[in-house]
Amino acid sequence: MNRTIAELAGPSLAHRIGRQSIVVLPTGALEHHGPHLPLGTDALLAEAVASAAIERAAAGGIDVWQLPTLTYTKSDEHSWAPGTVWLDAETLFRTVVHIGRSVELMGAGTLVFVNGHGGNVALLQVALREIRRRSGLKTFLMPSLVRADPPAGEGLDENGLGIHGGAAETSLVLHLRPELVDLSRAERWVPEHLASFQHIGFNGRPVSFGWLSDDFGTPGVIGDPTQATPAYGEVLWEASVRQAVESLREIARFEHSPTAGSGGS
Ligand SMILES: [Zn+2]
């Protein structure tokens, strides 16, 4: 069965969607990803993982549907770089809240963001509650790309700072769309000095900080794409799709209250 909402006629969709239905909105970005990756990297990865996960989950009986990918999002950290097309936080927030309203009117009971761009996370987390309060939908946010170790024998040395255009993203695009990657232009840009701070940093450190991607004196890359390989991309792809499928299965049976009936909100 076709799960792509944009390819269905309205009455056909209305006939098939109910409160038990899960609607997935992939969110990416059109933003600078260094000289070696395409601008649409985050959107490409979010859409590919969402599509594959929806296909597998639907084959296993989950009632899940895919909206067109939201590509213009909150990429202001790369606003200095030509090719980045972004929305300010207020506009994106209002956009996703309106999409939530439309999903509610569609008749579905759940909206899931499959997000490929780190700069969207904080805003989407706030939107989860806003949409929940206004529309009554169950709302969820999951990443398109999960962390995984490279295949045995390939060490990864990015000091945990491979967050943008680094080995992971580059490997995944190498796996999915190798013709879009120019490894001859890939360079290591890891802000090594950040490792000397115990409390300040990315990824779970207690003190976070505001940054723009050119603050680090880099060409808009944070990570080491020279360590990317198609084999690592395949590992990341399988891990990402597997986690997304498992997450959709959990979302399908999730209830806020232990006494809530199935399919309610
Ligand atoms: Zn990216």
CA distance 238 to 218: 30
Distance 162 CA to ligand 1 centre (A): 10
31 C-alpha to center of ligand 1: Å?
8
Give me the mean pLDDT over the 71-93 stretch: 96
- Which residue in this structure is represented by tokens 């949409």? 131
Q: Which two tokens stand for residue 250?
A: 């959990």
Handedness of CA 213, 217, 219, 225 (dihedral sign): negative
**Sign of torsion over alpha carbons 38, 42, 43, 46:** positive
Burial group, residue 204, by CB count within 10 angstroms (0-12, 13-18, 19+): exposed
In angstroms, what is the span from residue 242 Cα to ligand 1's centroid? 20
* Extended strands (E) in 9-92: 22-27, 64-66
pLDDT of residue 160: 75
For ligand 1, the distance from its centroid to the CA atom of residue 40, given in whole angstroms, is 8
Distance 65 CA to ligand 1 centre (A): 24
Burial of residue 169, with CB atoms counted within 10 A of its CB: 0-12 exposed, 13-18 middle, 19 or more buried:
buried
Distance from the alpha carbon of residue 170 to the mean position of ligand 1, in angstroms: 9
- What is the model's pLDDT at position 264? 46
Work out the average pLDDT over 167-172: 96
Cα 69 to ligand 1 centre (Å):
15
Considering the chain, what is the average pLDDT of its residues?
Answer: 93
> Residue type for 141, please?
L
pLDDT over 70 for what percent of the chain?
97
How many A from CA of 116 to the centre of ligand 1?
7
